[in-house]
Amino acid sequence: MTKIDKPPRPRPGSVVELEAGPLAHGGAAVCRLDGFVVFAQGAVPGDRVLARLGKVKRSHAEARVTEVLEAGPDRIDAVADHPGAPWQILRYEAQLATKQEAVEQAIKRLGKFEDVPVDAIVPAAQQWRYRNKLEFSFGESDTGELTCGFHAPGRWDVVEPLTTCMLGSEKVDVAREAALAWCREKGLGAYDRRTSEGYLRNLVVREGTRTGELQIRLVTSTGELDDAEGFAEAVGCEGVFHTRIDTVGETTMGGETDLISGKPHLRDEISGLTVSISPEAFFQTNTEMAERLYGIAAEEAALRGHERVFDLCSGIGTIGLALSPRAGEVWGLEIVEPAVADAIINAERNGIRNAQFFAGDVRKDMAELVEKAGKPDVIVVDPPRAGLSAKIVRRIAEAKAKRIVYVSCNPTTFAPNAAEFAELGYELKRVRPVDLFPQTPHVECVAVLDRVS
């Protein structure tokens, strides 16, 4: 038997010439170096590039483009001067085609579904300045000056400054610059992610797309913020918060949050609803396309006015409340308690009396919800990017709803979940991709699973 020699593994740190193939999940181009697979970030199909190798594993290596030698047919000039839009070098039509292919391949390869129809992707209404929430990081320039921007590609310890963030509105830019200027004036230093020392960590800016309200949250290490009122006056937002975190890793969640000035909730409008949003509550970051996403979810739920709907991972209640006029009753379950409080306020604010929201974990509390409310006719679930655990899938299936509408932000976790539902008596009927995040590899989709009688 002839032994087949494996291609030699390249050395980390070396610069190599690559021909870029198709884009993989996550946005890197699939390349080959003497038969060895290399995933190159910053390359688009058809490019000929120089790339520096990072991690080198048995089966593949990771690399980042250092120079484009010859541009592929879909490469275009970058618009933004920051790393928050990794696909801005790819024509938008090619972005959509790649996302469509990613959803279809996830359904086939990871879910093992052969004949499930995947609709044409719904394009975004705006390709730039579509985000209603931005999370910036504080860092220092080479000269030691305080900066506020995004992490450099592939670097958890380096923050690249920016002049204009093309993902949020001009108002977000103004608020970020005002916050940075105030922090510089006060002589505050950035948190060092290598030594775990320093004070300023993140700046979270949220905007009510339809109301124009701004909510800003300064995230720091533990310790009081001197002249907090002065910070609030400098940024001039409707709600100003200070969050103190003592963890080593970078996160904007958890810790202790205090309202410095203004209103405790941001007000916005979506799907005919006026909603209140707490600083740490989840709300889709593209308001215009979230409205389209919820409209598709409503179409797929196919409610006729009498159904009992469970809204799982309900957040501030936007999907359940949007469905409520077409449902008999809506029951929401959400693990983040401030978001549940928002959902209850939002139901009251909009005069909705057939929706109730509860704090709880779907994995632990699903059976209790069924016992309290009765068996659901339709379940809508909008989980985090990691998808649903096998136990949560079982708990949802045990409720025996006739239809499940699954809103996913990650086709590679949705597809295995759909396969698990199939094993428990559900048929995947259709998947509809929606582009909420232009200039990035991320894609949302709405899927329908019907119970097989």
- Catalytic (active-site) positions: 409
For residue 135, give both structure tokens: 């999370």
Q: What are phi and psi for residue 300, nearest 5 degrees?
A: -75, -25
Distance CA 274, CA 346 (A): 7
Contact 271, 294 (CB under 8 A): yes
For residue 93, give both structure tokens: 């039509």
Contact 451, 425 (CB under 8 A): yes
Contact 158, 192 (CB under 8 A): no
Distance CA 123, CA 111 (A): 24
